[in-house]
Structures are given as structure tokens and as C-alpha cells.
């Protein structure tokens, strides 16, 4: 097997190229790969189509930093605060750079990523019949169910095949094999759909740890392009069994990003003026340490013995 371990900086530089489509946050509220978001901003990568059903403030940051001119998603904002100010400005403020939105519901974007993952030509759904999302998103197509007697309406959702998916896991080995537990949103579909997968692991473990529980594998290493050791990669979003959510941090971001000037100041302080994710963690200091999960609620033992 080939070792795929890379510093985050190198993985982003190598796989997230300008004008590509990138899944950043497919677990919904947890496991948002903010460390990758920040690194993309630091490297000034432009023209991204950011794909995420819900990714808390990550997409808002990328818009504000000018990295992203397309969004494919179901909800963009700040789960603590509500609206995402940069996102709003992109639509409401004639002075702001415009963002093209590929509008979705959670289920329709999930079906689009599933279709991409499974090589389906498209996914027929009923779930957003009646919604104007089919008007604001012309990628979707109205059709009739050919198996129905009564010309039942259905919506055809085209597949999403992202250039890159960045996924956050609890642990991985140097070959990119990894374990994820807790709710997973559409991150497995996103990873299977994408051309390249970058894994951000809270911990790097011996290959035997991953191999000991192959049903816990989110996406096998042979489909992974790079694995990066990035503890607290999801901060300020939570990670099951590892990190609590930093509500205050989200709140501060929401307050400070209310104005363009406030956002720029925040950006300088927390991203541009910070060397890398390690420095970001150091700057957070005890605020981060207080979020570390230290309790123990272990899964029941599970035996894979063959004889």
C-alpha cells in the first residue's frame, strides 16, 4: 500500500485547484472541515463551487474571503446565529461579488451525491414536489413516473461528481483507511462520488486499528488521495467522541461578520494572520482544551474472529 500522509497545506495545494468543486462539510452540523476551509482561504484559491448540504459558517467564510463563486447546498448560514452575513451580502449587496447558488433541500442534495457515488445517471425523487426549489434550481427536471398509471409527477436530480471531498474522521492510518462514528450526513456518498478524497484525521493510528473493525470504515484508503493528521480539524464544529461544539466561537463570528469590515478583521485575526491549523489551535489555547471530550462511553465489544 502507498502511504498517503501529507501536511494539510500540501494536500490542499495539490488537490484543491482553482475553479474546482469541493465538498466541505457533508455531515451537516458536525465534522465541518474548517481546518481545510481556513487553508483554502490562506492559499487564496479562487472560483470554487462549494458543495455542502449544511456546513455551518464554513461556506460563509469562503464567500467572504472571495474563494467561492458557486454554492451547491441546502442551507447556508450560521447554526448559532441564523443568517450568514457574507452569504446574504453576495445576493443582496450590489457591491459584493455575486455567488451562483445551486439550490437544494437536504434530501435532494443527498440524492445528487448518492447518484454521483453510485454512478446513477440521475435520481428520481418526490421529496421536494411542490417546492419552488425546482424553479430556482434549473439543474433539476420535472418528469412523470413511467411506472405510474396516473402520470405521477417526479423530480429528476442530476448526479453530483465533486472534484474533491474533504472529510473529517476520528482516526485513520497512513494509507488513508479510516473510521468514522456518529451520524454521518452524506459524507460517505460525497466521498464515494468525488474524484479525490482528502481525509483529516483527529488521530493517526496503526493500520491494525482500522483493520480491526472494517464495518466502521467510512471510505477505504484505496479511494483516498491524501490523509492529514489534523486534530480538531472541525473546530468550532463538534466531532463525536472527540470535540464539543464551540458555540461562543460561532457566536463571535456571527457578530463580527455582520459588517464587511468586521469580517475582514475576523479573517485577519483567525485565518490570514495565523500560520496554520496548529497555530490556530495554539491561539485558541484553553478555549479549545475545554472542548476536548475526556469522558468515556465505549461501544460494546465486537468480535470479528473467523475461527
Partner 1 sequence: MTDYSIQELMIIASAREIKDGELVFVGMRLPITAYGVARLTHAPDAVGLFECGVARYAPATDMLYTMGDPPNQLNAAWTTGLIPVMSQLQRGRVDAGFIGGAEVDRYGNVNTSYIGDFNNPKIKLPGSGGAADIAAMSKRLLVIINHEQRRLVEKVDFVTSPGYLDGGDSRATAGLKGGPSAIITDLAILRPYGPDNEMHLASLHQGHSVEEVQEKTGWNLKVLPQMVETPPPSAEEMAALHEIDKEGFWR
Record the cell numbers describing residue 28, joined without a space: 451537516
> Residue 89 carries which DSSP code?
H
> Residue 54 carries which DSSP code?
E
Q: Is 124 in the site for a copy of itself (CB under 8 A)?
A: yes
E strand or H helix at 207: helix 207-211
Q: Is 215 in the site for a copy of itself (CB under 8 A)?
A: yes
Task: Measure the CA–CA gap between 75 and 56, rounded to whole angstroms.
Answer: 8
Q: Is 156 in the site for partner 1 (CB under 8 A)?
A: no
Binder of partner 1 out of 11, 12, 28, 65 (CB under 8 A): 28
Q: Is 122 in the site for a copy of itself (CB under 8 A)?
A: yes
Q: Is 82 in the site for a copy of itself (CB under 8 A)?
A: no
Q: Is 145 in the site for a copy of itself (CB under 8 A)?
A: yes
Minimum distance from residue 279 beta carbon to a copy of itself (Å): 27
Q: Is 106 in the site for a copy of itself (CB under 8 A)?
A: no
Nearer to a copy of itself, 148 or 259 (CB): 148
Q: Are 77 and 46 in contact (CB under 8 A)?
A: no
Nearer to partner 1, 37 or 80 (CB): 80
Nearer to a copy of itself, 101 or 205 (CB): 205
Q: Is 156 in the site for a copy of itself (CB under 8 A)?
A: yes
Minimum distance from residue 156 beta carbon to a copy of itself (Å): 7
Q: How far is CA 159 from the centre of its chain?
A: 17
Given partner 1, a copy of itself, none, residue 146, with its beta carbon under 5 to 8 Å by kind, binds a copy of itself
Task: Measure the CA–CA gap between 236 and 199, rounded to whole angstroms.
Answer: 18
Q: How many angstroms separate the Cα of 35 from the Cα of each of 41, 44, 61, 116, 273?
A: 10, 14, 12, 25, 14
Record the cell numbers describing residue 54, joined without a space: 449544511
Scanning the structure block, which residue is given the C-alpha cell 434549473?
Answer: 138
Scanning the structure block, which residue is given the C-alpha cell 455575486?
Answer: 98
Task: Measure the CA–CA gap between 190 and 41, rounded to whole angstroms.
Answer: 22
The piece of 53-61, 86-94, 96-104, 140-148 that touches a copy of itself (CB under 8 A) is 140-148
Q: What CA dihedral angle connects 14, 69, 253 and 37, to 10 degrees?
A: -10
Q: Is 130 in the site for a copy of itself (CB under 8 A)?
A: no
Q: Is 211 in the site for partner 1 (CB under 8 A)?
A: yes
Binder of a copy of itself out of 209, 260, 272, 278 (CB under 8 A): 209
Task: Measure the CA–CA gap between 87 and 64, rounded to whole angstroms.
Answer: 8
Nearest to 168 by CA among 177, 176, 160, 180: 180
Q: Is 203 in the site for partner 1 (CB under 8 A)?
A: no
Record the cell numbers describing residue 159, joined without a space: 448526479
Minimum distance from residue 194 beta carbon to a copy of itself (Å): 19
Given partner 1, a copy of itself, none, residue 205, with its beta carbon under 5 to 8 Å by kind, binds a copy of itself
- What is the binding site for a copy of itself (CB under 8 A)? 119-127, 141, 143, 145-148, 152, 154, 156, 158, 170, 179, 181-182, 184, 205, 209-210, 212-213, 215-216, 240-241, 244, 293-307
Amino acid at each position: 500500500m502507498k502511504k498517503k500522509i501529507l501536511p494539510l497545506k500540501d494536500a490542499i495545494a495539490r488537490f484543491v485547484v482553482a475553479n474546482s468543486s469541493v465538498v466541505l462539510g457533508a455531515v451537516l452540523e458536525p465534522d465541518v472541515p474548517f481546518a481545510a476551509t481556513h487553508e483554502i482561504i490562506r492559499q487564496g484559491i479562487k472560483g470554487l463551487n462549494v458543495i455542502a448540504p449544511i456546513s455551518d459558517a464554513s461556506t460563509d467564510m469562503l464567500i467572504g474571503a472571495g474563494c467561492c463563486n458557486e454554492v451547491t447546498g441546502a442551507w447556508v448560514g450560521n447554526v448559532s446565529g441564523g443568517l450568514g452575513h457574507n452569504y446574504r451580502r453576495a445576493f443582496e449587496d450590489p457591491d459584493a461579488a455575486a455567488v451562483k447558488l445551486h439550490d437544494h433541500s437536504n434530501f435532494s442534495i443527498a440524492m445528487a451525491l448518492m447518484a454521483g457515488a453510485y454512478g446513477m445517471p440521475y435520481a428520481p425523487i418526490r421529496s421536494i414536489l411542490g417546492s419552488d426549489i425546482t424553479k430556482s434550481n434549473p439543474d433539476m427536471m420535472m418528469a412523470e413516473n413511467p411506472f405510474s398509471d396516473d402520470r405521477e409527477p417526479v423530480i429528476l436530480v442530476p448526479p453530483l461528481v465533486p472534484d474533491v471531498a474533504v472529510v473529517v474522521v476520528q482516526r485513520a492510518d497512513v494509507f488513508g483507511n479510516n473510521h468514522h462514528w456518529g451520524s454521518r450526513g452524506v459524507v460517505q456518498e460525497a466521498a464515494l462520488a468525488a474524484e479525490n478524497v482528502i481525509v483529516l484525521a483527529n488521530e493517526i493510528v496503526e493500520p491494525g486499528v482500522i483493520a480491526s473493525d472494517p464495518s466502521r470504515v467510512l471510505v477505504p484508503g484505496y479511494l483516498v488521495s491524501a490523509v492529514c493528521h489534523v486534530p480538531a480539524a472541525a473546530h468550532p464544529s463538534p466531532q463525536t467522541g472527540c470535540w464539543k461544539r464551540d458555540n461562543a466561537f460561532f457566536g463571535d463570528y456571527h457578530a463580527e461578520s455582520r459588517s464587511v469590515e468586521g469580517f475582514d478583521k475576523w479573517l485577519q485575526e483567525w485565518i490570514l494572520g495565523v500560520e496554520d491549523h496548529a497555530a490556530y489551535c495554539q491561539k485558541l489555547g484553553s478555549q479549545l482544551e475545554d472542548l476536548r471530550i475526556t469522558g468515556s462511553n465505549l461501544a460494546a465489544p465486537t468480535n470479528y474472529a473467523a475461527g
